[in-house]
Amino acid sequence: MTAVPTSPFPASTVLGYPRIGPRRELKRALEAYWQGRLGVEGLREAGARLREGTWLRLAELGLAALPSNTFSLYDHVLDAAMMVDAVPGRYRRPLPEDTCFAMARGGEGAAPLRMTKWFDTNYHYLVPQVGPGTRFRAVPGKPVGEVREARALGLSTRPVLLGPVTFLLLCQAEPGAAEGFRPLERLDDLLAVYEQVLGALAAEGVAWVQLDEPALVADRSPGELAAVGEAYRRLGGLRGRPGLLVAGYFGELGAALPVLAGTPVEAIGLDLVRGGGDLAAACALPELAGKTVVAGVVGGRDVWRTDQERALAGLLALRARAGRVVVSTSCSLLHLPYDVDAEDGLPAGLRERLAFAEQKVAEVVELAGRLAAVPVDAPVPGVPVLAAGAGVPDAGRGAAGPWPASGRAPYEVRAAAQAARLRLPALPVTTIGSFPQTGELRAARAAFSAGELGAGEYEERVRGEIRRVVELQERLGLDVLVHGEPERNDMVQYFAEHLEGFAVTRHGWVQSYGSRCVRPPILYGEVRRRGPVTVGWTRYAQSLTDRPVKGMLTGPVTIAAWSFVRDDVPLPRVVGQIAEAVREEVADLEAAGVAIVQVDEPALRELMPLRAAGRAEYLAWAVGAYRRATSGAGERTQIHTHLCYSEASEIVEAIDALDADVTSVESARSQGRLPAEPGVAGFGRGLGPGVYDIHSPRVPGVAEVAGGIEAVLRVLPVERVWVNPDCGLKTRTYEQVEAALANMVAAARLVRERLL
């Protein structure tokens, strides 16, 4: 085994890299494997090619230290669970790949693990389950294998592992665990396994290992901070281990910084883009003199070029005080597209302002060169003030609210007016908006944007799809219909394409979860609506049926959250501009006779500051923007909203304050916990907790759905309960959707009968 410390940390690195492939090769391989068109060897080969491509490219760009184990077939949190064998028995399969996919997607009677957002990003991870009896075991094959793979290419790498504290904080207690059990109680046992993994990596000759601890940038209790100290004293005390880099990102380490600095870890990674305050704090720490700081000065979550002078000033300040300074990205580049140079259709003047993953790496390399060029005995500037991320205000404390009136008529007045207009049965059944996007539809859209299909012909295809969706919903007996969103490639991109101020990319795919990718638009200018966006499609759908058709819009917070937003003006102002555009669209829908308008805000929870201190202020402007978008609607117009994977119970008051008439929320995949959550019973408006998990191909049975509805009825009065899936249906097949919706309608009817 190698001695500690091994060798100095090289001058430049990135904390992680995109893994889906520049042309979404991983997506294609995964889908082929799931459909049985590709064997496991082919899938492994596809993964190996992607890793090889990444390492060779990073080396070619001149990066000094390359990360490994940042590739994942599905999700890196799932990989961490598999590395410590936290795999519930029901998911175990002969092949590790199949075990992974069983946890991620469910199968053979086992529902998948819960999925939720990775901190305040739009990436989703799977929530591992740990109980008092989970038998951790070291399964280091994946990180070890990647080290060997890279070595075969002549490259040494730094394996990246999810840190043990963050891992346990992200886990949920295994169902059936005693009330009050917290996975963090298992830290000791888990550390024993991490020691073995570190030992296995040291035996491979690995010089450095990166342990990611993003959970440390959120508020942590004294007990949790003590656990951090304990974990890294113990891992740091391990003999013959590799050098340890502990990376906190997505914000300030704050109180966790001195705790980490007091342990034997050799290197600490700071996010100096979103956690600018850590710079001065680090510079004031005496322990820093003995540590390497991996300084995240190049933003890993924005697409803008780095202000090199500012970054360099920060690097110089650190270099004067730390044992060593390494130039890095603020976090993994997972959240960025690969390459600006792959884009040809960007508006003039924008390209020069942009940096995707490749360009960010080049910036890191350039900054490392500039830092090295400044003599160490040059005068040291003062510690510069690096602002917290643009538009992430951190003032304001305490709970948001009480909320002033939204400007609409009181809920009761609206509810009566809407009931008289809509005449819906008890427990109305509806969907969240999108229906399956067939291959033909996607092909038609591709042909249309390539200019191979005329606008008239494309429009006819979309109308055909709308007819099919409306007919299907009538046949299945849904009460409130949707047009199915066939004209939308994506709920944010579609609006970005129709509003001024946005640019869209051709190849700018970013992983959302598993094989799912999105292309976040780039919001670079003043946002304005050119004219009606959705009115024509909704009006057409309504012309086909006597049942109400919901107009379907994306809310201002979500449009901003799922775009790369300009950082030269405050975020609330940008969101306010989007709200005006949505407000105009709501007015046009209303004028067209549309009785129900849904304004989705699935990202409301996601943009919430990770630390409590900023939340009240955030919620105040975010709720304000939603109200601005919707409060022009008259009392006879029913406003719906939809939130998914939002841990809705945490922000029930803010959701109530949106003042929507009906709110649909994710619930099925969180194992139906929602109705039981405190606050839900006090929710004062219509609520549709999802009773069908659309992120899994599994079709729920009638009794299961009926049970879900009845659970909701135990806490909410029947007049306010809606029946709907968790989210839109666009990722499912028509076969699955028909069966599931038929069961949903049957379940609603069953419960209605029982109520009589």
b/e burial code for range 650-675 (CB count within 10 A of at least 16 → b): ebbbbbbbbbbbbbbbbbbbbebbbb
Q: Is there binding between residue 434 and ligand MET (CB under 6 A)?
A: yes
Q: Is there binding between residue 559 and Zn ion (CB under 5 A)?
A: no
Whole-number minimum distance, CB 391 to ligand MET, in Å?
A: 22
Q: Is there binding between residue 600 and ligand MET (CB under 6 A)?
A: yes
Q: How far is CA 373 from the centre of its chain?
A: 39
**Contact string 303-322 vs ligand MET (x = CB under 6 A):** --------------------
Among 30, 432, 518, 596, binds ligand MET (CB under 6 A): 432
- Which pair of tokens denotes residue 649? 């119970």
Residue with tokens 């665990």: 177
- The Cα–Cα gap between 230 and 154 comes to 36
Q: Is there binding between residue 520 and ligand MET (CB under 6 A)?
A: no
Q: Which is nearer to ligand MET, 232 or 722 (CB)?
A: 722
- Residue 51 labelled as part of a binding site: no
Q: Which is nearer to Zn ion, 12 or 630 (CB)?
A: 630
Stretch that binds Zn ion, among 143-151, 479-487, 594-602, 687-695 (CB under 5 A): 594-602
- Interaction with ligand MET in 364-423: which residues (CB under 6 A)? none
- Residue 434 labelled as part of a binding site: yes
Whole-number minimum distance, CB 432 to Zn ion, in Å?
A: 6
Residue 320, CA distances (Å) to 45, 283, 411, 474 in order: 46, 9, 61, 71
Q: Is there binding between residue 728 and ligand MET (CB under 6 A)?
A: yes
* Residue 491 partner contact from ligand MET, Zn ion, none using kind-dependent CB cut-offs of 5 to 8 Å: ligand MET
Can you list the positions of beta strands (E) in 163-285? Answer: 172-173, 208-212, 243-247, 267-271
- The Cα–Cα gap between 323 and 295 comes to 12
Q: Is there binding between residue 730 and ligand MET (CB under 6 A)?
A: yes
Dihedral over alpha carbons 308, 314, 316, 319 (to 10 degrees): -130
- Cis check for the bond before 402: say yes or no (omega within 30 of 0): yes
The active-site residue, picked from 124, 483, 640, 695, is 695
- Residue 433 labelled as part of a binding site: yes
What are the contacts of 459-467 at 24+ separation with CB within 8 A? 462/486, 462/487, 462/537, 463/540, 465/435, 465/438, 465/441, 466/537, 466/540, 466/541, 466/544, 467/544
* Residue 144 partner contact from ligand MET, Zn ion, none using kind-dependent CB cut-offs of 5 to 8 Å: none
Residue 114 makes CB contacts below 8 A (sequence gap 6+) with: 126, 127, 172, 669, 670, 671
- The Cα–Cα gap between 366 and 12 comes to 9
- Which pair of tokens denotes residue 682? 């006090």
Residue with tokens 């040809």: 344
Among 16, 106, 337, 433, binds ligand MET (CB under 6 A): 433
Among 486, 602, 609, 689, binds ligand MET (CB under 6 A): 602
Q: Is there binding between residue 519 and ligand MET (CB under 6 A)?
A: no
- Interaction with ligand MET in 643-682: which residues (CB under 6 A)? 644
Q: Which is nearer to ligand MET, 346 or 727 (CB)?
A: 727
Query: How many residues line the site for ligand MET (CB under 6 A)?
Result: 13
- 76 classed as catalytic: no
3-state SS string for 535-589 = HHHHHHHHHCCCCCEEEEEECHHHHHHCCEECCCCCHHHHHHHHHHHHHHHHHHH
- Interaction with ligand MET in 462-491: which residues (CB under 6 A)? 485, 491
- Cis check for the bond before 393: say yes or no (omega within 30 of 0): no
Q: How far is CA 544 from the centre of its chain?
A: 37
- Interaction with Zn ion in 407-466: which residues (CB under 5 A)? none
- Residue 483 labelled as part of a binding site: no
Q: Tell me the CA end-to-end span of the chain in Å, nearest whole number.
A: 73
Q: Is there binding between residue 552 and ligand MET (CB under 6 A)?
A: yes
User: In the chain, how long is the greatest CA-to-CA distance?
Assistant: 85
Q: Is there binding between residue 276 and ligand MET (CB under 6 A)?
A: no
Whole-number minimum distance, CB 179 to ligand MET, in Å?
A: 32
Q: Is there binding between residue 555 and ligand MET (CB under 6 A)?
A: no
Stretch that binds ligand MET, among 183-191, 420-428, 727-735, 748-756 (CB under 6 A): 727-735
Among 143, 276, 436, 602, binds Zn ion (CB under 5 A): 602
Whole-number minimum distance, CB 29 to ligand MET, in Å?
A: 25
- Residue 331 labelled as part of a binding site: no
Reference 198, options 143, 261, 260, 136; nearest CA is: 143
* Residue 529 partner contact from ligand MET, Zn ion, none using kind-dependent CB cut-offs of 5 to 8 Å: none
Alpha-carbon radius of gyration of the chain: 26
Q: Is there binding between residue 514 and ligand MET (CB under 6 A)?
A: no
- The Cα–Cα gap between 371 and 365 comes to 10
Q: Is there binding between residue 688 and ligand MET (CB under 6 A)?
A: no
Among 270, 709, 727, 751, binds ligand MET (CB under 6 A): 727
Using CB positions, name the residue nearest to ligand MET: 728
Reference 485, options 443, 523, 540, 532; nearest CA is: 540
- Residue 485 labelled as part of a binding site: yes
- Residue 490 labelled as part of a binding site: no
**Contact string 608-647 vs Zn ion (x = CB under 5 A):** ------------------------------------x---
Q: Is there binding between residue 727 and Zn ion (CB under 5 A)?
A: yes
- Cβ of 714: how many Cβ atoms within 10 Å? 9
The one-letter amino acid code at 719 reads: E
Whole-number minimum distance, CB 211 to ligand MET, in Å?
A: 32
- Which pair of tokens denotes residue 273? 């883009």
> Are 17 and 253 in contact, with CB atoms under 8 Å apart?
no
- The Cα–Cα gap between 294 and 324 comes to 8
Give the annotated binding-site residues for Zn(2+): 642, 644, 666, 727
Give the annotated binding-site residues for 5-methyltetrahydropteroyltri-L-glutamate: 27, 122, 516-517, 562
Q: Which residues are catalytic?
A: 695
Q: Given the rule CB under 5 A, which residues bind Zn ion? A: 602, 644, 727
Give the annotated binding-site residues: 27, 122, 432-434, 485, 516-517, 562, 600, 642, 644, 666, 727
Q: Given the rule CB under 6 A, which residues bind ligand MET? A: 432-434, 485, 491, 552, 600, 602, 642, 644, 727-728, 730
Give the annotated binding-site residues for L-methionine: 432-434, 485, 600
